[in-house]
Structure 1
Amino acid sequence: MSGRLVRSAALSAWMVLALAACVAQPARQVVPVAPAQAQANDTRRGAVVAWDLSGRIAVSNGDRGGSGRIDWQQRAGGYTISLGAPVTRQSWRLSGDELGARLEGIAGGPREGADVEELLLSATGWNIPVRAMQNWVRGVGGAVHEYGPTKLAYDAAGLPVKLEQAGWSVEYQDWYPAGPGRPQLPKRIVARNGKASVKLVVDEWGLAPQ
């Protein structure tokens, strides 16, 4: 068995249990919305650049996939993403910023690279747009100069139902209400690009001083 297949099998083995709640949700209705209302909501979410989330994630490339716990800490351009499986107690950690990334917990020891998506794909076989998802998980588009234009569709409350960018379609199935000093933030997200998909259920958001 090749090294990549061994790594992929190991990754799938520990990403197996935790996304039972990420089932199909009723489609949210897209309606015409006042641009000012939608823009105001987008601006509030876009201003959140230092945050933490914990929840469950499922990743699939069509022929194989898995799920596990996720803890994501974002501080402006820097991130630390930890994944783990409670049963096997195995873990995987991705950290980086605009200069590069480091992946730990894989067979053969840590790896580093200038491009986080290429690093992740070569080490695990997963197609995950990590840098764009820093924005997509908050319901806002990524930088136009990197990912191209963003197409957004909204519900009656002025919250995104779907975001399309860089060949990916991101569906927002549920939202948390706004709280003291916190805008409305996504609860259930499904991102797809061909056979690749990433499903995320956020159990908790935490905002750091902005």
Structure 2
Amino acid sequence: MNRRHLRWLAALLPLGLAACAPRQAVRLPGDAAMLAKQQAREQQLAGVDHWTLQGRLGVSDGRNGGSGSLSWTQDGDHYEFVLHGPALSGADFRLSGGPDGATLEGVRGGPLHGADAEALMQRALGWTVPLRDLRAWVRGLRADSGPAELRFGADGLPSLLQQDGWAVDYRAWDTARQPPLPTTIFAAKPPYKVRLSVESWTIR
């Protein structure tokens, strides 16, 4: 990712990626009861594909980092990410698309169009973003991209998900919602780090 594109991310580290060092989370290997509970959650949420989350997103590539307010709307196979950061001079960074392709706005030379959103992000920003997996991970589910390893917290909910080279660390859950949904997520695949703090979930 070049420095021009990273200017809009300049506020993140004070908000928590580097400065925040949460206490060690509980990491329990899943027993039969925990794995059955997780499988039931996954079955319940597998059909939930129309939702919106609002929150804060922060990223770091090990040298540069920043944050912005995020709105992510998923309508079946169609999606829209809008990340608003002050270093974009008030402009919105927007990624939208579906099976027919993707459009990336708010970057130099944009809007950009491509057949694949992940390839578009790589070309425009230099980041390899597992967008297909994120759609599952953000709900606390294993993606269907390959083998996954789970560890659980004392509450029986996932504490750590390792898949596709990423470690997805669930720090907090909305347990008032059934089934529960994550509200604080750290994800890392060196040198990349991502933090998502969900302020609200809207399921439609």
The more displaced of 52-61 and 87-96 is 87-96
Distance 1:44 1:157 in 2: 18
Separation in 2 of the partners of 1:73 and 1:173?
A: 22
Structure 2 portions without partners, runs of 5+: none
Contact 2:12 2:66 in 1 (8 A): no
Q: Please state whether the residue corresponding to 1:41 is helix, strand or coil.
A: helix
**Contact 1:45–1:185 (8 Å) recurs in 2:** no
- Take 1:121 and 1:186, find their aligned partners in 2: how far apart are those partners? 27
Residue 122 (structure 2) aligns with? 121
Q: What RMSD over aligned residues (CA atoms) do the two structures have, in Å?
A: 2.0
Question: Which position in structure 2 is the counterpart of 1:156?
Answer: 154
| Pairs within 5 Å for 1:107-146 | 107-143=108-144
Question: In structure 1, what is the equivalent of residue 25 of structure 2?
Answer: 28
In structure 2, what is the Cα distance between the partners aligned to 1:43 and 1:156? Answer: 22
Q: Structure 1, residues 9-60: CA drift from partner, whole Å, max 9, x if none?
A: 2x32223336725633223212344132232233233332111001111112
State the aligned residue count: 197
Deviates more, 1:107-116 or 1:18-27: 18-27
Distance 2:130 2:66 in 1: 17
Q: Does 1:82 align with 2:78?
A: no
Instruction: Work out whether 1:102 is the aligned partner of 2:111.
Output: no
Cα distance, 1:140–1:64 mapped onto 2, change above 3 Å: same
2:13 is aligned with 1:16: no
1:169 aligned to which of 162, 167, 170: 167
AA aligned to 2:68 is G
Contact 1:136–1:142 under 8 Å retained in 2: yes
Give the equivalent residue in structure 2 for 1:39: 39
Q: Deviations over 1:44-87 (max 9, x none)?
A: 33332111001111112222222111100011211100001247
Please tell me whether residue 183 in structure 1 is matched to residue 184 in structure 2: no
SS of corresponding position for 1:119:
helix
With the length of structure 2 as denominator, give the TM-score of the two structures: 0.87
State the distance in 2 between where 1:60 and 1:17 align: 11
Query: 2:10 touches 2:64 (CA, 8 Å); kept in 1?
Result: no
- Percent identity over the alignment? 38
Cα distance change on mapping 1:177 and 1:186 into 2, 3 Å: same
- Matched residues in 2 for 1:114 and 1:166: separation? 22
Deviation digits for residues 172-200 of structure 1 (CA, Å, limit 9, x no counterpart): 01111133xx4211111111112012111
The 2-side partners of 1:136 and 1:159 are apart by 13
Mapped partners of 1:43, 1:150: distance in 2: 16
Q: Secondary structure of 1:153's match?
A: strand
Equivalent residue of 1:127, what SS? coil
Query: Which piece of structure 1 moves more, 29-38 or 193-202?
Result: 29-38
